């Protein structure tokens, strides 16, 4: 791989293109809500969703029928141009799109149509099936040329979906490939297929991926029924733990943001919430929402609880200058746990700035002296 100097890394890739950002803004993005811009019923719901969801994403890739690709692209342009308070830097709801795959017959038209028409409103372009840094370099240069031609003053950011085995192997170089990189999402369906995993589900767990409690002492495990043994507890495991953890580390190392992806069992709101919460606890900042009912789940899960914020604030208050160790409710707190608490407190402040209901809840927390 050829080396780029640090100075070149932040130089625009086309004459007249906006300067790359030095920091990726931490804009709340608990739910990235997917809609099909060619579906009139879904498109009609977009204006009413502004302010209720952090990100609206006009999907052009998978789930859009080949015959509707052009209608989806044109629909997205129409929606972006005609909807107030959507996208750009100030609106309450960001506007993202997922373009078609880089080897598809549609992607070039996606980019050459969207950037001139709605580049000033598009916050992030999600790129599917990213394999390595070369895919990001291609998009990076093309976007710079299109931005320069369109006279844009703000760079459009890029988000990659981790959904091939090669992409997972190259995750660190993908995150560091361009100052445009905003974040990564897990794409469990394509990734499962690419890895030849034997699940047909779109994200979530699988009842066959488990560990089983040992048999009672003195029992020959060969005699127990391996399929149904009510005497031995089973613990379902998370098929996606390894990939999410790897993605979180790569994103944190590069100062960009990790997201869970789709949870396809729309009816199973409980398991959806569990999967989202696992991702939140591991470090993800948000997730995809495929159906309106997943937005509330994502907003709830990816907002720290009032209890956690109450505790975090107590630790911050008790730790004074941030050094040393104190006891709170029988537990040791020190410089490191203070940093953990600050992660939550800072997230709560960002969310309170855009979510009046949450602000009310966080403001109502009584400050308890430790």
Ligand X SMILES: CC(C)(COP(=O)(O)OP(=O)(O)OC[C@H]1O[C@@H](n2cnc3c(N)ncnc32)[C@H](O)[C@@H]1OP(=O)(O)O)[C@@H](O)C(=O)NCCC(=O)NCCSC(=O)C[C@H](O)C(=O)O
User: Which among 246, 203, 215, 177 has a CA at the least distance from the CA of 2?
Assistant: 177
Q: Cβ of residue 49: shortest distance to Mg ion, in angstroms?
A: 23
> Which listed residue (21, 42, 316, 370) binds ligand X by CB under 6 A?
42
User: Which among 173, 240, 234 has a CA at the least distance from the CA of 201?
Assistant: 240
Binding residues (CB under 5 A) for Mg ion: these are: 163, 187, 190
Gap between the Cα atoms of 157 and 114, Å rounded: 14
Residue 63 interacting with ligand X (CB under 6 A): yes
Name which of 46 and 250 has its Cβ closer to ligand X: 46
Q: Cβ of residue 245: shortest distance to ligand X, in angstroms?
A: 18
**Residue 125 backbone dihedrals phi, psi, to 5 degrees:** -110, 125
Specify the pairing of strand 331-334 against strand 325-328. Answer: antiparallel
Residue 96 interacting with ligand X (CB under 6 A): no
Residue 45 interacting with ligand X (CB under 6 A): yes
The number of C-alpha atoms within 13 Å of 306 and in the hemisphere containing its C-beta is 11
Q: Cβ of residue 51: shortest distance to ligand X, in angstroms?
A: 15
Per the structure block, which two tokens stand in for 42?
């879904």
From the list 41-49, 150-158, 225-233, 279-287, the region that binds ligand X by CB under 6 A is 41-49
Residue 165 interacting with ligand X (CB under 6 A): no
Name which of 55 and 192 has its Cβ closer to Mg ion: 192
CA distances from 22 to 10, 11, 90, 256 (A): 7, 11, 19, 11
Closest chain position to Mg ion (CB): 190
Gap between the Cα atoms of 46 and 91, Å rounded: 14
Q: Measure CA of the first residue to CA of the last residue in the chain; give whole Å.
A: 53
DSSP helix/strand/coil, 363: helix
Give which of ligand X, Mg ion, none residue 110 binds (C-beta under 5 to 8 Å, depending on kind): none
User: Which among 174, 192, 185 has a CA at the least distance from the CA of 126?
Assistant: 185
From the list 57-65, 135-143, 206-214, 336-344, the region that binds ligand X by CB under 6 A is 57-65
Name which of 260 and 280 has its Cβ closer to ligand X: 260
Per the structure block, which two tokens stand in for 254?
């590069």
Subset of residues 185 to 214 that bind ligand X, contact rule: CB under 6 A: 187-190, 202
Residue 34 interacting with ligand X (CB under 6 A): yes
Name which of 154 and 246 has its Cβ closer to ligand X: 246
> Which listed residue (21, 109, 292, 306) binds ligand X by CB under 6 A?
292
Name which of 25 and 105 has its Cβ closer to Mg ion: 105
Burial code (b: 16+ CB inside 10 Å, e: under 16) for 337-366 equals bbeebeebbebbeebbeebeebeeebeebe
Number of Cβ within a 10 Å radius of residue 128: 24
DSSP 68: G
From the list 70-78, 109-117, 182-190, 271-279, the region that binds ligand X by CB under 6 A is 182-190
Per the structure block, which two tokens stand in for 272?
């959806």
Subset of residues 234 to 273 that bind ligand X, contact rule: CB under 6 A: 261-262, 266
The site for ligand X (CB under 6 A) is made up of: 34-36, 41-42, 45, 59, 62-63, 161, 163, 187-190, 202, 261-262, 266, 290-292
């Amino acid at each position: 791989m050829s080396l780029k100097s640090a100075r070149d890394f932040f130089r625009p890739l086309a004459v007249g293109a906006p300067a790359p950002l030095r920091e990726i803004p931490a804009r709340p993005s608990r739910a990235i809500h997917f809609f099909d811009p060619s579906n009139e019923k879904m498109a009609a719901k977009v204006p009413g969703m502004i302010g209720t969801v952090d990100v609206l994403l006009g999907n052009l890739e998978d789930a859009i029928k080949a015959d509707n690709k052009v209608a989806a692209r044109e629909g997205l342009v129409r929606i972006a141009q005609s909807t107030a308070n959507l996208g750009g830097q100030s609106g309450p709801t960001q506007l993202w799109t997922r373009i078609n795959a880089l080897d598809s017959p549609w992607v070039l038209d996606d980019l050459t149509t969207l950037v001139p028409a709605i580049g000033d409103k598009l916050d992030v372009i999600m790129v599917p099936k990213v394999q390595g840094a070369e895919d990001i370099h291609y998009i990076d240069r093309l976007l710079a040329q299109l931005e320069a031609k369109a006279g844009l003053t703000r760079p459009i950011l890029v988000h990659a979906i981790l959904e091939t085995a090669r992409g997972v192997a190259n995750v660190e170089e993908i995150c560091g490939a361009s100052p445009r990189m905003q974040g990564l999402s897990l794409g469990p369906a394509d990734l499962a297929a690419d890895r030849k995993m034997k699940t047909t589900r779109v994200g979530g767990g699988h009842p066959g991926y488990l560990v089983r409690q040992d048999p009672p002492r003195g029992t020959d495990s060969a005699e127990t029924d391996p399929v149904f043994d009510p005497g031995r507890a089973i613990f379902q495991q998370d098929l996606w733990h390894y990939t999410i953890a790897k993605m979180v580390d790569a994103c944190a190392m590069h100062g960009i943001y990790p997201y869970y992806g789709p949870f396809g069992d729309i009816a199973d709101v409980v398991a959806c919430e569990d999967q989202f919460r696992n991702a939140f606890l591991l470090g993800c900042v948000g997730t995809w929402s495929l159906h309106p009912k997943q937005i509330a789940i994502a907003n709830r899960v990816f907002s720290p609880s009032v209890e956690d914020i109450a505790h975090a604030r107590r630790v911050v208050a008790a730790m004074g200058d941030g050094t040393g160790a104190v006891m709170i409710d029988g537990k040791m707190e020190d410089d490191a746990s203070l940093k953990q608490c600050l992660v939550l407190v800072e997230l709560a402040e960002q969310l309170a700035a855009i979510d009046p209901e949450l602000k009310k809840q966080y403001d109502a927390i009584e400050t308890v002296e430790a």
